[in-house]
Amino acid sequence: MKSKNESINLNEEKLIKKLRFHGNDHDPTLVPHPWFKDKFQPTFFYLDGHADLLLTVRALIYLSMRAINPELGSDDIMERNEEEFIHQAMTIANRLMPVGEEALMDHLNEFYRGEKKPK
């Protein structure tokens, strides 16, 4: 009969093998920030310039205001651009979604579920 420590070591070894095997299957969504210690920055969040930044911020503010108050009175220009604002918000969400990191998280979840099982 194996001791608790031996079974934990086997479980940890299994996790390490899976992580090594799948370690390069993805592009990390978050990377360490070069200036701020213990902070991360998204890898795939990029803008074409200041105009794109302003459109992005304006889109998020407009959609947030509309979500809070759908009857919010807005001008014709804002309503005319609503589809573009939605597109911009979806682009941001797509760039911030983890790419391939789900498999690594699945292995970690499997490991922790195995740790909680009665021995």
59-108 pLDDT per residue, tens: 888 888 888 887 776 666 677 778 888 888 888 887 777 766 666 777 77
Q: What is the identity of the amino acid at 115?
A: E
Distances (CA, A) of 110 to 6, 37, 46, 103: 18, 30, 33, 11
Is the predicted pLDDT of residue 5 greater than 70, yes or no? no
Region 29-58: mean pLDDT is: 84
- Please give the pLDDT value at position 35: 92
Q: What is the mean pLDDT of the chain?
A: 76
Q: How far is CA 95 from CA 6, 27, 47, in A?
A: 42, 12, 11
Specify the higher pLDDT residue, 35 or 63: 35
Longest dimension (CA), the chain: 75
What span, in angstroms and rounded, lies between the C-alpha atoms of 59 and 64? 8
Predicted local confidence at residue 75, as pLDDT: 65
Give the predicted TM-score (pTM) of the model: 0.52
Average pLDDT for 33-44: 85
